[in-house]
Structure 1
Amino acid sequence: MASKHMNLKRVTKRVKEEFGSTIEIARVLNVRDAVSTFRGKVDIQLMVHNGHKEWGWIRKHLLKKHEVMNLYFDKTCPKLSDERIRQLEKIELNEEYKDCIWICWWQGIDQAPSIVKKCVDSIRKHAGNHKVIIITDKNYKDYVDFPEWLLEKKDKGIITKTHMSDLLRLKLLGQYGGIWLDSTFYCTDSLEAYFERPVWSIKRPDYRHTSVACGYFANYSFGCQKEYRVVFNIIAEYLLMYWKTNDYMIDYLFLDYLIVQAQRKHRMVKEAFDLIEPNNPECDELLKILGNKYEEKVWNRMKKETALFKLTWKANFPKEISGDETFYGKLIARELI
């Protein structure tokens, strides 16, 4: 009963936020554009329930939504001053945490679901000489500083842990560099090559869905060398500016929109993201078959050019089907190698 109550409360909050967002977009732009963003959000939910099929009319609506939201942020997101950027460039690097792998599970990894634990184990296995640091509710202040007003909004529930993790990844990379990976990445090979890139994110230019990033970056995977830390500090500034003046999320994808804004407004950010090379083309494919019967031939093909597979802890998967072990069963048994 308590779970149903929390779900209803969450849904009610999201509905209120969506109506509030639509009104806000109408205020800044116009009613027609605001309605188009609402329609695009409805279409995204339809895709979630239809197996992510992106029909032509959905694609058209999503393109319009992205166009309108980028225009909204163009008008409401002032460009950072050159002086502020110079300040961000001067942030000193703590060599103790240089080239780490950063992962967050707020409750602590001991409290994580089995699939998360196995994913983190796989990252540790392939981390080489790089420290793997798990950020939690208890230790995040040891690594990054957030303004007091932000922490107050967090304590009031205005800024959720999901929103905080958006800022966390940017602040960590802006402070130390290294690599950020979401906790549901299953890793099958060395991560060393990503540390050798000036800026890194999973990049798939042939990504089939109409996303904000268009496959050119994925906000659940970022990395940079120390000289490029300022890129993520700039993006973090835009998030801080947003939350300074807003008490709700204007769009579920607003982090991606703000990354696009940073690229539009600052040549150095765009040039840095242009350095990202395509990688991990099969990143989404393991999730699609995780509950299927394990097939070695399929697995060998998938991991040939992909070392990082994005999974989820929000779904249940069988370990066996008709007596045959599934991909998930292999993963949990530490045999998916």
Structure 2
Amino acid sequence: MKLTRINKKLIQTTQKFIDIYKEFGVQLAMYNFENSLFPDPRFKIGKRAHKKTHEYVQRRMEKEFRSVINNYENVQINNNVIGNKSPIWIFWWQGLENAPKLVQRCIMSVKENALNHPVKIVTRDNYKKLVDIPDYIIDKITNNKITLTHFSDILRMSLLYTYGGIWMDATLLVTKAIPTNISKYSFYTIKHNLYADYHICQGKWSGFFIAMSKENPLAKFCRDFFFEYWKKYDSLICYLLIDDIISLAYTHFKWAKKLIDDVPVNNRNVFELQSKLNNEYNADTLDELEKNTFVFKLSYKMHITVNNGTFSCKLGLV
């Protein structure tokens, strides 16, 4: 059985190497191959592969989409702020009634702690009523060239530009009221400052929790970049393209750098709860995690043990 899994992994890795080589060339294919074999960035080769991949992607995107970058060099920031009644956007393609229990509980936790923010669930049935997405992108979703995960990247920037508000992934568990000070910013995100020695975002932003004022130029830049990218390509150059695009903005635009740098460090324990879900519940441990964190990133794909005494059961995730 173990040998079968290894063979399957090797076949998938090889096929992905071939696909990337055909569309983007041998250099990126090699970096991706290293990433596939050594995905854990705690090891030197995994960290190197991650870093080299995104350095390559940014150089290439900078060259190929220079016209998009040039359009935003001298943008003037408006005085709009996120506001305390702006919508919270959560995307689940199939609809909330068809979501896993963990996702349903996470969304309920957002509603319980949203204060005056209306919570909007975006699905396949209503997204076209909210924003205009080019037909060529819709066609590529239909033909499985764009995954729902990466469609959500396009969707979040389109929604944030059009309406403003807070984008939250469907697997975020909120355990305290969303801080009111977020409403005073034009841009806000989870800024945990972790993994700064290799990760593309260096802990400065988190695509799974990102808030912007209406008609924010950073949202428009990211949206327009995605539109142009998918007009040209039929496959994704890297999984974290959204972070590469934000990084290009951070590097090239003083106004974007200021928006991101002005966000204070927050939610340092955002990833810490997930590893404890199968552990015996301890109120003191949760209190300690919540001292500087109100939202925790989880995954509905992880195996959760059904046991009445665990964190997952106490928090209503199973």
Equivalent-residue separation in structure 2 for 1:41 and 1:258 (angstroms): 22
TM alignment of 1:299-318, pairs within 5 A: 299-318=286-305
* CA RMSD in angstroms, aligned pairs only: 3.1
Equivalent pairs, count? 308
Q: Which amino acid aligns with 2:211?
A: G
Q: Percent identity?
A: 28
Equivalent-residue separation in structure 2 for 1:147 and 1:89 (angstroms): 26
Q: 1:256 to 1:122 in 2, by over 3 A?
A: same
1:303 deviates by 0.8
TM-score normalised over the length of structure 2: 0.86
Counterpart selection for 2:102 from 93, 115, 118? 115
1:332 deviates by 1.2
1:239 deviates by 0.9
2:253 match: 266
1:89 deviates by 8.7
TM-score normalised over the length of structure 1: 0.82
SS in 2 for 1:133: strand
Equivalent-residue separation in structure 2 for 1:236 and 1:313 (angstroms): 27
SS in 2 for 1:309: strand
Equivalent-residue separation in structure 2 for 1:314 and 1:308 (angstroms): 18
Q: Give unmatched runs, 5+ long, in structure 1.
A: 1-7, 48-52
On the 8 A contact 1:292/1:326 being kept in 2, the answer is yes
Question: Which structure has greater helix proportion?
Answer: 1
1:274 deviates by 1.8
2:33 match: 38
1:326 match: 310
Encode CA deviations 1:203-256: one digit per residue, 9 max, x unaligned. 111336732111111111110123x62210111111111100000111111221
2:58 match: 70
Say whether 1:205 aligns with 2:193: yes
1:141 match: 128
SS in 2 for 1:157: coil
TM alignment of 1:100-249, pairs within 5 A: 100-191=87-178, 192-207=180-195, 210-226=198-214, 229-249=216-236
Q: Give unmatched runs, 5+ long, in structure 2.
A: 1-7
TM alignment of 1:266-285, pairs within 5 A: 266-285=253-272
On the 8 A contact 1:104/1:134 being kept in 2, the answer is yes
Q: Which amino acid aligns with 2:194?
A: D
Equivalent-residue separation in structure 1 for 2:28 and 2:85 (angstroms): 45
On the 8 A contact 1:37/1:68 being kept in 2, the answer is no
SS in 2 for 1:127: coil
On the 8 A contact 1:22/1:37 being kept in 2, the answer is no
1:4 match: none
SS in 1 for 2:182: helix
SS in 1 for 2:191: coil
